[in-house]
Amino acid sequence: MAEVALITGSSRGIGLKIAKHLAQEGYQVVLNSRSPITDEVLSEFEGAEHPVVQKTGDISDFEKSKEMIDQVVDEFGKIDILINNAGITRDGLIMRMKEEDFDSVIATNLKGTFNMCRHVTQPMLKKKTGTIINLSSVVGVTGNAGQTNYAASKAGVIGLTKSLARELASRRITVNAIAPGYIETEMTEDLSDRVRKRMFDQIPLKRFGQAEEIAQTVDFLINNRYLTGQVIEVNGGLNI
């Protein structure tokens, strides 16, 4: 039976690219988003070896996260790979940041990652193998003005990753994080030319990353069974 990979926040952007990459590689892909995924997006998986499945639910909800994990295990008997990609931003300087803007980012980006890791642990421990990949960010490593909430959430993901890797290593479950830099997505396309130029000028490789390059890094982490507790920075040299 094909390995089962659940990717949170996979209706667009990096998550969708990871899902498409894994589907092309022959994995049984399970998509996730807070609202039903459109037929247009689902049509992008036509021709995949295994029909994709979608599980709708908000990962910041502890019980809903458990329900989604349970549904996948009931349907396929296992989860081999969990990729925690779902995330939101609510940028602003801290002197003007609303409490709900901080709380909502932490709830999705950090607690959502905890929720999914918490509930996937039992089926993976039962199998005595598994792969967990958490999406952090370059700002979780370096910080960034105007993103205290986002940077805190993504730094927290790094701490969670390293601690969980220590807990699960004896059961052959690897836990790693990817910290992307500026990646070309729908979100970056909406930025002004001035902002894009400022971002571009900070990157030693002088280009934005592609979502496919994050998907390739996921592939590497899935296949390397001696790598755990690490943060792979995919940022064009932004944090040299």
Which residues participate in catalysis according to the annotation?
150
For residue 127, give every residue at least 6 positions away whose Cβ sits within 8 Å of its Cβ, in sequence order, or none: 78, 80
Alpha-carbon distance 62 to 78, whole Å?
20
For residue 120, give every residue at least 6 positions away whose Cβ sits within 8 Å of its Cβ, in sequence order, or none: 6, 69, 79, 82, 130, 132
Cβ proximity of 119 and 65 under 8 Å: yes
Q: Longest C-alpha distance within the chain, in Å?
A: 53
For residue 201, give every residue at least 6 positions away whose Cβ sits within 8 Å of its Cβ, in sequence order, or none: none
Structure tokens at 13: 């952007």
